[in-house]
Amino acid sequence: MTIWEAMPGNRARVIVMNNALGPLDYRVPHGMQVEPGSIVIAPLGPRQLVGVVWEPERLPTEEVGDNRLRNLIGLVDAPPIPAPLRRLVEWTADYYLSPLPSVLRMCLSSSAALEGSPTIVEYRATGLVPKRMTEQREQALERIGDRQGLVRELAAIADVSDAVIRGLVKVGAIESVLVEADTPYPLPDPNFAPPDLSPDQASVASILRQAVGAETFQPFLLDGVTGSGKTEVYFEAIAAALAAGKQTLVLLPEIALTEPFLTRFTRRFGCEPVAWHSDLRQSQRRRAWRAIASGEAKVAVGARSALFLPYADLGLIVVDEAHETSFKQEEGVHYHARDVAVMRGLFEQAPVVLATATPAIETRHQVQLGRYEELKLPGRYGPADLPHVEAIDMIQEPPERGRWLAPRLVKGMQATLERDEQVLLFLNRRGYAPLTLCRVCGHRLQCPNCTAWMVEHRLLGRLACHHCGHSYPTPRECPECESEDSLAACGPGVERVADEVRELFPDKKVAIVTSDTLWSPQKAAEFVQRMEHGDIDIVVGTQLVTKGYHFPNLTLVGVVDADLGLGGGDLRAAERTFQQICQVSGRAGRGEKPGTVLIQTHCPDADVMKALVTGDSEAFYEAETEQRRDAHAPPFGRYAAIIVSSEDKAAAEDVARRIGKSRPELEEMHVFGPAPAPLAMLRGRHRFRLLVHARRAFDVQDVIREWLGALEWPAKVRVAVDVDPYSFL
């Protein structure tokens, strides 16, 4: 490696996995060979840390004399982090104002992958019933079922301590199994089942195939209504990458979408791609990470964390449902996976396809500027037409007292069910009721750690905070005035709507679909099967059911509360509502039968509702874009949020005020705040926000880096910067 001319002798500059430290120099011991990207074990005081060797000229630091260098301890047996990914790590750290180790940690996200042994000991139930059965043992065996994993993983699945699992091993109810972690993956076959494409699809597919062949960076917006066959089209680009021996990364906004994707992929390519998500066992993570790093895994699909994996030879990136805001990470490194995916394409010299039926205004703007090429798929593919959409004015046609479904929606459901077709009711709210209050004293049950109401989950008999996870059994008496049976549920969640549906249609089968019921790809697969077999008549679900699914017999979609996303003063509220309802509407009538969408709203005259009914998305987008332009909001201006938090309120407030006082006076930039955040308390921490608003071309990162760099604050105060924020809480 000639690069080492920059570091004479046997030195290496290393980024160690510690956010507080800059790059450190080490001595490379005799017999060890490292290069930029090598993953090493480095000593730090008495500890050993994982680190990555970096080009010294890219990370200037104070030179340390040879005599003070410590030896590297070991070289991890894994391919070095490739150069394009190293450049992406640098860019991400710089753009999102994050420490390099935080970003690098996302590339090394599987510690098991870095450890020596390719065999892992896992555990599974033997079927033997222990002589001494305790409640915990029973719970463990029941929940584990036929699953397999480390002691720690099984304990987590069963919600018991490690000791319970170990006890079960001792008595023979659970046994160990040796797992070969590095068995190769089957190779997807680009010619397994080529599709019949419409002429429109074929011409778009051919453009994408050419782009893959060109092996250069080229961003595309693949724009087509739901059901227009975007997936089949980008599958052809994947086929081209496979034929060229290159890797593809497909990003999905959430794990629940993985399952339908895997099924479609297998039908086209004969085997599953490599899935990467948080539900993987340690052995699966190791296998996937190493196969991706070696280049053996040709197609990887995953949520945003799959973006930072060390692909050996990436030839194509697809971001599906690219408008989804869940691509934005809201803690740690506050990156937006859609935007970072485009940067990765640039560093890898590979085409990037952003697929969506409802592009983000930011993405449409890139098309208008000529930076992204737009590929449009007109109309639905096959016999299906776009669904018929109507708004129900909830003031003119209110539901009966104590109910949430308007008579017209109920009538529509009835007619649909009589034809033996399926209904989907969409309400983006988990649980039974969003607020519980005491009828006697008016007390509202609030989370002790957050500025948020406790949400009732009646199926579990618990109240839960959706921000911090705090939960406890639903009390019988008011915690304030101690009146019995005085607590009343206010407003509907999916469970409550499902109750109403069961009352209205007692002989129909109802399923609730939320992250509470569909928390793993396996559960999602079960749901799909039940829908396809007609084991479900009515689905009541959150945004989890709005995307990716294709149920030909689902012909009526009811939006229970279309106004839900409009409050809160979020700059993207109308856009998000439009996208979400378009998505869920797209579930209706995907087969030969026509679909209908009924939208319950209190403001049928709002632009977004009118656009949904007329289907005139162009007019809606244009009006929204103009408003953003007038307000110098993204993409015409830019924001960055500075969030100051601490368990000590006074300390947080003091630091926030000092940051506000030392704001740089610049014409191109305006600072709002500090002010208590709308979520003034989160997970026990008090929060204050400042919002920086700047012109588009202004280097706001540089200014913030210098501004905050000049200040100091106590360790109990955390200052986070969110560049291009999506959450304004």
Binding-site member from 450, 489, 545, 681 for Zn ion (CB under 5 A): 450
Q: Within positions 108 to 127, which residues make up the interface with Zn ion, using CB under 5 A?
A: none
Nearest distance, CB of residue 679 and Zn ion, angstroms: 9
Distances (CA, A) of 37 to 51, 341, 342: 9, 20, 22
Compute the least distance from the CB of residue 653 to Zn ion, in Å.
21
> Which of 193, 415, 481, 666: binder of Zn ion (CB under 5 A)?
481
Q: What are phi and psi of 115, to 5 degrees?
A: -80, 165
To the nearest whole angstrom, how small is the minimum distance from the Cβ of residue 513 to Zn ion? Answer: 24
Looking at beta carbons only, is 670 or 718 nearer to Zn ion? 718
Task: Name residue 148's beta-bridge partners.
Answer: 124
Question: Applying CB under 5 A, which part among 52-60, 185-193, 476-484, 494-502 lies near Zn ion?
Answer: 476-484
Is 554 or 681 the residue whose CB approaches Zn ion more closely? 681
Select from 195-203, 237-245, 434-442, 626-634 the region that touches Zn ion (CB under 5 A): 434-442
Answer for which of 441, 488, 619, 666 binds Zn ion (CB under 5 A) is 441
Residue positions counted in the chain: 729
Q: What is the closest distance, in whole angstroms, from the C-beta atom of residue 551 to Zn ion in the complex?
A: 35
Burial grade of 633 (CB within 10 A; 0-12, 13-18, 19 or more): middle
- Rounded Cα distance between 483 and 310, Å, is 59
If the CB atoms of residues 477 and 607 are measured against Zn ion, the closer one turns out to be 477
Complex with Zn ion: residue 480 or 607, whichever CB lies closer: 480
**Do the Cβ atoms of 312 and 295 come closer than 8 Å?**
yes
Distance CA 446, CA 425 (A): 28
Burial environment of residue 207 by CB neighbours within 10 A (0 to 12, 13 to 18, 19 or more): middle
User: CB of 326: closest distance to Zn ion in angstroms?
Assistant: 20
**Nearest approach, Cβ of 477 to Zn ion (angstroms)?**
8
459 near Zn ion (CB under 5 A): no
Verify binding: residue 438, Zn ion, rule CB under 5 A. Answer: yes
Strand 554-559 and strand 11-16: pairing?
Answer: unpaired
Q: Which range in 91-99, 455-463, 466-474, 555-563 contacts Zn ion by CB under 5 A?
A: 466-474
- Return d(Cα 585, Cα 535) in angstroms, integer: 22
Among 73, 169, 468, 504, binds Zn ion (CB under 5 A): 468
The 10 Å Cβ neighbour count of residue 62 is 7
Distance (Å, whole) CA 202 – CA 336:
31
CB of 433 to Zn ion, least distance (A): 17
In terms of CB distance, is 337 or 450 closer to Zn ion? 450
Judge whether 693 and 652 are in contact, CB under 8 Å. no
Binding mask 598-637 for Zn ion (x = CB under 5 A): ----------------------------------------
- Residues pairing with 18 in the sheet: none
Please name the residue ranges forming H helices in 640-691. 649-661
Q: What CA–CA distance (Å, rounded) separates 579 from 565?
A: 11
Stretch in the footprint of Zn ion (CB under 5 A) among 99-107, 128-136, 463-471, 594-602: 463-471
Sheet holding 24-27, edge to edge: 24-27, 11-16, 47-54, 39-44, 74-75
Binding-site residue total for Zn ion (CB under 5 A)? 14
- Out of 93, 280, 361, 465, the residue judged to bind Zn ion by CB under 5 A: 465
Closest to Zn ion by CB, 391 vs 464, is 464
Binding part of the chain for Zn ion, among 94-102, 406-414, 418-426, 465-473 by CB under 5 A, reads 465-473
Which residue's CB is nearer to Zn ion, number 482 or number 532?
482
User: From the list 449, 520, 625, 701, which residue makes contact with Zn ion (rule: CB under 5 A)?
Assistant: 449
In the complex with Zn ion, the residue whose CB is nearer, 114 or 440, is: 440
Q: Which stretch binds Zn ion (CB under 5 A): 363-371, 472-480, 511-519, 548-556?
A: 472-480
Of the pair 184, 479, the CB lying nearest Zn ion is at: 479
Q: Does position 1 bind Zn ion by CB under 5 A?
A: no
Comparison of 242 and 478: residue with beta carbon closer to Zn ion = 478
Q: How far is the CB of 360 from Zn ion (least distance, A)?
A: 29
Q: With 0-12 CB in 10 A as exposed, 13-18 as middle and 19+ as buried, what is 656?
A: buried
Distance (Å, rounded) from C-alpha 514 to C-alpha 542?
5
CB within 8 A of 18, min separation 6: which ones? 44, 49, 101
Q: Which residues, at least 6 apart from 41, have a Cβ–Cβ distance to it below 8 Å? A: 48, 49, 50, 51, 72, 73, 74, 75, 76
What is the SS3 assignment for 7? coil
Q: Does 390 bind Zn ion (CB under 5 A)?
A: no
Q: Is the preceding peptide bond at 674 cis, omega within 30 degrees of 0?
A: yes
Report, in Å, the least distance between residue 102 CB and Zn ion.
25
Residue 729 engages Zn ion in binding (rule: CB under 5 A):
no
CB 101 within 8 A of CB 89: no
Tell the residue number behind the tokens 């199994």, with chain if given: 177
Q: Find the shortest distance in angstroms from Cβ 384 to Zn ion.
A: 43
Q: Which residues contact 407 (CB under 8 A, 6 or more apart)?
A: 397, 399, 400
The answer to the question of residue 440 lying near Zn ion (CB under 5 A) is yes
For Zn ion, the binding residue among 87, 264, 470, 718 (CB under 5 A) is 470
27, 467, 663, 718: which one binds Zn ion (CB under 5 A): 467
Distance CA 41, CA 54 (A): 14
Judged by CB, which is closer to Zn ion: 166, or 444? Answer: 444
Strand pairing class (148-149; 247-251) = unpaired
Question: What's the min distance (Å) between Cβ of 714 and Zn ion?
Answer: 24
Q: Which is nearer to Zn ion, 262 or 463 (CB)?
A: 463
Site string for Zn ion, 283-302 (x = CB under 5 A): --------------------
Nearer to Zn ion, 576 or 685 (CB): 685
In the complex with Zn ion, the residue whose CB is nearer, 207 or 440, is: 440
Residue 443 binds to Zn ion (criterion: CB under 5 A): yes
Q: Among the candidate windows 303-311, 437-445, 522-530, 570-578, which touches Zn ion by CB under 5 A?
A: 437-445
Q: 317 with 347: CB under 8 angstroms?
A: no
- Which DSSP string corresponds to 143-154? HHTT-EE-HHHH
Taking the complex as a whole, the smallest distance from the CB of residue 572 to Zn ion amounts, in Å, to 24
Q: How far apart are CA 615 and CA 609, in angstroms?
A: 10
Q: Which residues neighbour 520 within 8 Å (Cβ) at sequence distance 6 or greater?
A: 255, 279
Answer for the pair 268, 192: CB distance below 8 angstroms, yes or no.
yes
Residue in 391, 478, 671, 694 binding Zn ion, rule: CB under 5 A: 478
Among 447, 581, 691, 704, binds Zn ion (CB under 5 A): 447
- Judged by the rule CB under 5 A, the positions of this chain that interact with Zn ion are 438, 440-441, 443, 447, 449-450, 465, 467-468, 470, 478, 480-481
